């Protein structure tokens, strides 16, 4: 794997896939982007309904940053999470262990537990954080219908990995949503928005994280 650690604008690490010349997060700030797009505009928005349990489906486990932030955020709120994440290229330990996403021993223990959880099993990483990391592509995955509350669609960008953003792949993700469920992504391309609308979602273009103008949220009607 040709992957290098980079430092983004907010001081947090990301990874550069040198073969694709594509980073795993915004160069303006990895943690900043994850908090804004996935936690604030996805998870928190869903939890505003008063839910105490949430099922998350992530496309692209990557560094585990979204998983870590979700586990931390929900633990504070006393919310139970069922977190499923797809990944075709799990990172080796010597790489993820260097990432600077934790500042306390407790957070480091959690981050390590998330990474060390066995693949292709459902594991209670914490009493309120059930994690299922699957080494399968979105293309090959068999996904349940109408069981997800929030989709973190965090694939590499459409110009780098167009096969992730086709109508059929979006449909495959969207059909997992329960009524009231949400699809969030950092991408705000017109074709994506048109496809999500065609798939029956109510689509909003929202302000993006610092350095990125827009992001997208699609909600399945109740
Ligand atoms: C933008 S990064 C994800 C960042 C990640 N969510 C995080 O918090 O670090 C995209 C990820 O998608 C993975 N990926 C590539 N092709 C995939 C596929 N066909 N299905 C699922 N994941 C894929 C890549 O290996 C990479 O880890």
Average pLDDT over residues 6-32: 97
How far does the centroid of ligand 1 lie from the alpha carbon of residue 155, in Å?
5
Average pLDDT over residues 184-193: 98
What is the atom index within ligand 1 of the atom nearest the CA of 164? 19
Residue 79 and residue 105: Cα distance in Å, rounded? Answer: 22
Task: Indicate if the pLDDT at residue 222 is higher than 90.
Answer: no
Task: Indicate if the pLDDT at residue 133 is higher than 90.
Answer: yes
C-alpha dist (Å) from residue 222 to 70, 94, 117, 149, 165: 24, 44, 34, 12, 25
Q: Are 212 and 33 in contact (CB under 8 A)?
A: yes
Region of residue 50 (phi > 0: left; psi between -120 and 50: alpha; otherwise: beta): left
Q: Give the residue, by CA position, lying nearest to ligand 1 atom 2.
A: 24
pLDDT confidence of residue 1: 64
Question: Where does ligand 1 bind, in terms of residues with CB under 6 Å?
Answer: 24, 34, 58-60, 62-63, 65-66, 86-89, 137-139, 154-156, 164
What is the atom index within ligand 1 of the atom nearest the CA of 86? 21
Residue 13 and residue 23: Cα distance in Å, rounded? Answer: 10
Q: Of 30, 100, 86, 35, nearest to 58 (Cα)?
A: 86
Q: What is the SS3 assignment for 17?
A: strand
What is the atom index within ligand 1 of the atom nearest the CA of 138? 20
Give residue-wise pLDDT tens across range 55-104: 999 999 999 999 999 999 999 899 999 999 999 999 999 999 999 999 99
Q: Give the residue, by CA position, lying nearest to ligand 1 atom 19.
A: 137
Task: Indicate if the pLDDT at residue 221 is higher than 80.
Answer: yes
Task: Indicate if the pLDDT at residue 33 is higher than 70.
Answer: yes
pLDDT confidence of residue 93: 98
C-alpha dist (Å) from residue 48 to 42, 100, 131, 177: 10, 30, 22, 17
Residue 73 and residue 65: Cα distance in Å, rounded? Answer: 12
Give residue-wise pLDDT tens across range 155-185: 999 999 999 999 999 999 999 999 999 999 9
> Which pair of structure tokens corresponds to residue 9?
């604008």
How far does the centroid of ligand 1 lie from the alpha carbon of residue 157, in Å?
10
Average pLDDT over residues 95-121: 98
Sign of CA dihedral 132, 138, 141, 143: positive
Average pLDDT over residues 19-27: 96
Residue holding tokens 């290229």? Answer: 89
Residue 118 and residue 113: Cα distance in Å, rounded? Answer: 10
* pTM, to two decimals: 0.98
Q: What is the SS3 assignment for 217?
A: strand
Region of residue 6 (phi > 0: left; psi between -120 and 50: alpha; otherwise: beta): beta
Phi, psi of 149 (to 5 degrees): -95, -40
């Amino acid at each position: 794997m040709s992957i290098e650690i980079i430092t983004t604008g907010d001081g947090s690490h990301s990874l550069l896939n040198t073969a694709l010349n594509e980073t795993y997060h915004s160069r303006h700030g990895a943690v900043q982007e994850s908090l804004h797009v996935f936690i604030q505009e996805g998870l928190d928005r869903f939890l505003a309904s008063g839910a105490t349990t949430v099922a998350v489906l992530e496309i692209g486990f990557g560094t585990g940053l979204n998983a870590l932030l979700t586990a931390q955020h929900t633990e504070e709120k006393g919310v139970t999470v069922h977190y499923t994440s797809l990944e075709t290229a799990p990172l080796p330990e010597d790489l993820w262990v260097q990432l600077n996403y934790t500042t306390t021993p407790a957070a480091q223990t959690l981050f390590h537990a998330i990474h060390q959880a066995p693949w292709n099993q459902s594991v209670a990483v914490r009493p309120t954080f059930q994690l299922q990391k699957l080494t399968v592509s979105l293309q090959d995955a068999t996904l349940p219908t109408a069981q997800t509350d929030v989709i973190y669609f965090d694939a590499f960008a459409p110009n780098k990995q167009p096969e992730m953003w086709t109508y059929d792949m979006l449909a495959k993700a969207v059909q997992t949503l329960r009524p009231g469920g949400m699809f969030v992504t950092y991408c705000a391309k017109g074709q994506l928005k048109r496809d999500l609308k065609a798939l029956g979602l109510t689509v909003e273009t929202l302000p993006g994280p610092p350095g990125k103008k827009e992001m997208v949220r699609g909600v399945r009607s109740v």
